[in-house]
């Protein structure tokens, strides 16, 4: 059974710092991997989706990488801002329209 782990569970950094969030999954046979952001009491917003054939995706200050063989993904946030404070969730899809399998998330606080 696919399991997704995110480390650390919580992270606090000063504004302007570059940071990396980690995600690992137990079965490397994934269809794609998705990073989400969740603000308190809100739904999930998709940040980046990496196809199984891709190594990385970039959107603005965000860069996500995927190493299927080692079962790892990282989300790199450059020049962090207080508005980046949220919970970041990593999820994988095994095939087609099958459900996402989620990690428990990393709660990020960026201090001004």
Partner 1 sequence: DGGITQSPKYLFRKEGQNVTLSCEQNLNHDAMYWYRQDPGQGLRLIYYSQIVNDFQKGDIAEGYSVSREKKESFPLTVTSAQKNPTAFYLCASGSSWDRGLNQPQHFGDGTRLSIL
d(Cα 38, Cα 105) in Å, to the nearest integer?
Answer: 9
Backbone angles phi, psi at 40, to 5 degrees: -55, 130
Task: Give the interface segment with partner 1, choosing from 17-25, 66-74, 78-86, 87-95 (CB under 8 A).
Answer: 87-95
Per-residue binding letters, 17-56, with partner 1 (x by CB under 8 A): --------------xx-x-x----xxxxxx--x-x-----
* Gyration radius of the chain over CA positions: 13
Helix (H) or strand (E) holding 94: none
The binder of partner 1 chosen from 103, 106, 108, 110 (CB under 8 A): 103
Q: CB of 15 within 8 A of CB of 111? A: yes
Examine residue 14 and tell whether it contacts partner 1 (CB under 8 A): no
Which residues are at the interface with partner 1 (CB under 8 A)? 31-32, 34, 36, 41-46, 49, 51, 89, 91, 93, 96-97, 99-100, 102-105
């Amino acid at each position: 059974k696919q399991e997704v782990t995110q480390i650390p569970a919580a992270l606090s950094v000063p504004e302007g710092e570059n940071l990396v969030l980690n995600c690992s999954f137990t079965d490397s046979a994934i269809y794609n991997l998705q990073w989400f952001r969740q603000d308190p009491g809100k739904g999930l917003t998709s940040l980046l989706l990496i196809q199984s054939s891709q190594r990385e995706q970039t959107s603005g200050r965000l860069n996500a990488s995927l190493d299927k063989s080692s079962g790892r993904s990282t989300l790199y946030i450059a020049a962090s801002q207080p508005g980046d404070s949220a919970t970041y969730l990593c999820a994988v899809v095994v095939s087609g329209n099958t459900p996402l399998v989620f990690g428990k998330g990393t709660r990020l606080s960026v201090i001004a």
